[in-house]
Amino acid sequence: MRIIEIKQLNNGSQPRPYADHIYKWKIKVIGKPSKEDLLEFCQKYLEFAPLERTEYLAKYRSNLPFNEHMRIVCGGWYTLSKTEDYNVWEYLVQREYID
């Protein structure tokens, strides 16, 4: 996998007061990287979130002890998806607003 360009579309700024923090990138690559390799790169060098969105929502809604629930909430979630353009991927991380 060779990365040609990384473009940051959102830098964690909140769209309105008390909103979640959203980080978003478009990553242009050469070749056909595996999703796991690209995810490892994104989590290491861009922004880390431990859970994919569907995992996050399942754990968020489950009946967990308070400390474990807060660990899930504070960790945030990610999505990594291929766009319509052949070699462009989109990586998004969202963190809950906690006051």
Domain holding 40, by residue range, is 2-50+79-95
Q: Distance from CA of residue 11 to its chain's centroid?
A: 12
Mean pLDDT for the stretch of residues 14-35:
89
What confidence tier does 31 reach under pLDDT thresholds 50, 70, 90? confident
Residue 35 included in any domain: yes
- Tally of domains within the chain: 1
Residue 55 included in any domain: no
Residue 66 included in any domain: no
Residue 16 included in any domain: yes
61: which 2 tokens? 């809604």
pTM of the model: 0.88
Place of tokens 């060779």: 2
Q: Dihedral through CA 44, CA 48, CA 51, CA 56, nearest 10?
A: -170
pLDDT score for 9: 94
Residue 58 included in any domain: no
Residue 9 included in any domain: yes
pLDDT score for 15: 76
